[in-house]
Structure 1
Amino acid sequence: MTDRKPLGVGFETWIDRQIREATERGEFDNLPGAGKPLPDAGRQPDELWWVKQKMREENLSFPLPGTLALRKDAERARAAAVDARTEAEARRIIEEINDRIRESHGRTLSGPPLVQPLLDVDEVVADRRTRHPAVEEPAPAPAPPPRRRSLLRWFGRG
């Protein structure tokens, strides 16, 4: 613990003397981060900087309210459908998010009031076709011909 500031000595002079003496004793040698730039130097100060830093360090995220999360999921689903390998996969992705949107219309979600419209499957598939014109749908594999068995096998003679 440091001594109290003596009377008659300027505050800044007293602090400067303590820092100088600590430096002479080597108390500032080998500190972690020595010689490295300060993180976030030059950024505007933020009132919640420490919360954001802790969330980054702990790899945490703040959950969005239900209505906003649904809108974000719908945007992601549309992007995934446009990038889908096949048209059937794109349709499946859009139908799944549309089912979730239909469910949300019947119940109250947290967050600001929001009615997420259903995604138009045909519009998304058309957008997918324009972005991926070279990718063709794989033709269904032909069914194997029926296996013919002789009548003798059925009766145990073959």
Structure 2
Amino acid sequence: MTERKPPGMSFETWVDQQLAQARARGAFDDLDGAGRPLPRREREQGSYDWALDWARRQAADPRDLLPPGMALRRERDELPGRVAGLPSEAAVRALAEDYNARVEAFWRRPQESRWAPVPGLADVEALVAHWRATRPPPPPPEVPAPPPRRRWWHRRR
């Protein structure tokens, strides 16, 4: 972390001094793309276009770029699909309760704007009922085969 700008020093001088110290430490050595020209832009690019290009270059998942409220709402919509692959009812309840705890934590934080989407809580019992309905029926219990019967003429031996 850099120190604060000393009083009486111009901002440009202070920044130049910070850059010179970083060069002396070797902070700019071996950076990716060092010695290569910057890529050419074919057209004028706005901030929105730049952000989209950056997300494509980083191979970012679009869900990671959503505001927190919308991400929670999307996750709530995807809960029934995630529940179908869980092995037990306890795992379903744990997933739903974890989601509800994160929603309640979101409600406690101050919102960035008044138009922030407010997600709702997940209905735990409805998710458990959905999980039970989508489970394949359990296989019937195997009845052991009766032992082979001995013929009456073999019994005398």
TM-score of the two chains, using structure 1 as the length reference: 0.46
TM-score of the two chains, using structure 2 as the length reference: 0.47
Higher helix share: 2
| Structure number, greater radius of gyration | 1
